[in-house]
Structure 1
């Protein structure tokens, strides 16, 4: 039987190897074997098991300081501004010290993928010689493992930061087991209980602090030193971060339409009305968007990943509202951005729509929250005016007219029956 296995190994022809049945037949024909076929099958099974490495066997790995970083994506859930949101968690781990980096994005697209690595280098204070990742489409154009062809932008990114690319084989999570474990660890320890935050930036600040705490306090099992001690040692071997940052954004040129919005992917974003019908540059990053005109930023937003939405900012339309005040209570930039309490208060202003626009101008200049606080300082029995708000803001007022409510002017009751008596009318 051993001779059969040896011959198979030397020939190395996958589809022409000895089976237990063939070995049994040869023993009967060539050696006059009189035993049962089941005996041979059992013996072949045991011999093959002895000569084959079990599929679950894992090779222990060791890395030199600054040699490699393993990166991966995971999924998690958080409440952002009260809305339950599915997030994608980018995880990176230095292979020598096991220091970690974790950051949340609303999409695992290429912009987020590159931005996350850029911020990871900032967090680690340097760049390893190679990065180990799987074959996700954000990184790989075609092929896998040693034969993977990187996406053009990722190839440019790696050249800018001077690291080599090491792609895993499909389904081989053990090739980046350090970061595979980190995905689960960060979800259990950093995102439980489910965070409730006002923005994804707030969540990422929390994750940044969690990673710093991990560095300062954690010790990996079977390691002689803490993460911090090994990180300080590894830091000396990391390559320096280039002075000029790589532009990780998805960049397009778009025309401002008649509503003073530009389209990026499947959503619209407003810009100041003075840029109407001009071409602007839109830069989409993982979690936010910048809009520039002649290389000067004119607007920025949290990036929207829904479809068919339009994001307005009140300050972009305030000049237009001052020219067309009649539209103020029906204007979408007003209805989408101004609190109902402020709108209801504005309807009480004696000057009508023009006064409401003046109030909105103060909101743009001083912030809506501050203006609403001033509202509570004006007595309820007084007719509110924009001048009263300006007084509290130490701004010059526009007029000396003081509006009083009817309750503030004492009026004596008049007996109107005297007129009936004077003219001889019948008084009932």
Structure 2
């Protein structure tokens, strides 16, 4: 082609002369001389007929129907192959590998059409995202337990803090947020949440939310602007969703033993601080340095602490026990059949009398149908009235060895025995008192 054009453009040869010298036909010479566009057209792959072609419409129909099916009940390539073997044995002339390749290509085509596409977002400094997740730990008895981890991440810097609790309720949420804000001595001006029941009592249309009373007072106290994701739209807080898994893989492996949640949460702050001493995945700067910019954009901490507690009224039964949620807590025999007040935090239940005087504080129970018994209020009162002991409801709940022992004593001996039991219970539980009596006898 270059030779033909050179003869024409440089040497001034006519088409007839070029035909004579090159041996090409007139049409060929004329085509090359008239050509202006020398770009090569894209070479489309040639479609080679496949033995699977007759079955492709059937496969397409199955995969298109899968778009309406639950994610975990959709066709795999192996299931497609097995169905073809069962339903179209005479037409299936290919191996599993061919079906796998076609199903893979078809799924990509279908799900690309379905997906909306996403644009990377730039998050402003001082904004936070919040999420709860499940984790497991061993307790003091080396029993595997389920807990809940609260993560607060800061998308601008990719920094984060986490705190752990035995449950996922309003008290745990607010206590975790307060712990983190007090650690930073700063308040994120905007926080993005799921529609968790600890914060939202009703989901209206669009962005309309009715907040729970405790959460509403908390965000007003610290001047936080809460923002809630659309329902089933976890990607709207994608940074914290990723951070939840990262923390679980890097800070909770191997499965930790937690003897004291408050102490463990202090160690988590240290772990999170160390984790910020690595480079941001995209910005080529330490997370800790970027986090300083986050903190500068945050609000100052309210110097007055918000009391993270809920108050609840209840009535003690004839044994002086109180029901809260699904669990029972002891109070005092003098409160039997009386109205009481409960102060509820993430890890304690304090029972108070009508004048709001604390009577007893229990560790909050998170396992259903459990009971917490503090014997001291009962024993100390009965030591003053030993003759009435046998007629009290709580007497039946004493270990059998103590019931048998007390039943054979005189009133004065009962008083002394109950005072001894009271002394033991100052430092030990009732089972230790039963063991001590067994040894003494």
TM superposition score normalised by structure 1: 0.63
Residue 149 (structure 1) aligns with: 209
Residue 271 (structure 1) aligns with: 331
Task: Provide the rounded CA distance (Å) in 2 between the counterparts of 1:145 and 1:180.
Answer: 25
Residue 140 (structure 1) aligns with: 200
Residue 122 (structure 1) aligns with: 182
> Residues 384 and 109 from structure 1, CA distance in 2 versus in 1: closer, same or farther, beyond 3 angstroms?
closer
> Residues 76 and 254 from structure 1, CA distance in 2 versus in 1: closer, same or farther, beyond 3 angstroms?
same
Contact 1:101 1:211 in 2 (8 A): yes
Residue 71 (structure 1) aligns with: 130
Task: Pick one of 386, 404, 407 that aligns with 1:324.
Answer: 386
How far apart are 1:199 and its partner, in Å?
Answer: 4.4
Contact 1:78 1:86 in 2 (8 A): yes
Task: Provide the rounded CA distance (Å) in 1 between the counterparts of 2:350 and 2:123.
Answer: 40
How far apart are 1:179 and its partner, in Å?
Answer: 0.5
Task: Provide the rounded CA distance (Å) in 2 between the counterparts of 1:282 and 1:198.
Answer: 25
Residue 168 (structure 1) aligns with: 229
Secondary structure, aligned partner of 1:157: helix
Secondary structure, aligned partner of 1:170: coil
How far apart are 1:312 and its partner, in Å?
Answer: 0.9
Secondary structure, aligned partner of 1:185: helix
Task: Pick one of 155, 160, 165 that aligns with 1:95.
Answer: 155
Task: Provide the rounded CA distance (Å) in 1 between the counterparts of 2:356 and 2:152.
Answer: 33
Give deviations 1:260-319, integer Å, cap 9, x for gaps: 222222222122444445433212223322223334433222211334333111222221
Number of equivalenced pairs: 321
Task: Pick one of 138, 144, 164 that aligns with 1:104.
Answer: 164
Unaligned runs of 5+ in 1: 1-48, 377-382, 386-428
Residue 33 (structure 1) aligns with: none
Unaligned runs of 5+ in 2: 1-108
Give deviations 1:83-127, integer Å, cap 9, x for gaps: 322222111112333332212223322332233222222223211
Task: Provide the rounded CA distance (Å) in 1 between the counterparts of 2:345 and 2:323.
Answer: 15
Task: Pick one of 265, 272, 297 that aligns with 1:211.
Answer: 272
The equivalences for 1:173-184 within 5 A come to 173-184=234-245
Contact 2:204 2:210 in 1 (8 A): no
Give deviations 1:26-50, integer Å, cap 9, x for gaps: xxxxxxxxxxxxxxxxxxxxxxx9x
Task: Provide the rounded CA distance (Å) in 1 between the counterparts of 2:260 and 2:396.
Answer: 23
Task: Provide the rounded CA distance (Å) in 1 between the counterparts of 2:300 and 2:406.
Answer: 56
**1:287 matched to 2:287:** no
Task: Provide the rounded CA distance (Å) in 2 between the counterparts of 1:199 and 1:127.
Answer: 27
Contact 1:144 1:169 in 2 (8 A): no
Residue 12 (structure 1) aligns with: none
How far apart are 1:331 and its partner, in Å?
Answer: 4.2
Give deviations 1:145-182, integer Å, cap 9, x for gaps: 95231324233332222121222223333321211111
Secondary structure, aligned partner of 1:120: helix
Residue 392 (structure 1) aligns with: none
What RMSD, in angstroms, separates the aligned Cα atoms of the two structures?
A: 4.1
Point out the structure with the larger helix share. Answer: 2
Task: Provide the rounded CA distance (Å) in 1 between the counterparts of 2:190 and 2:318.
Answer: 49
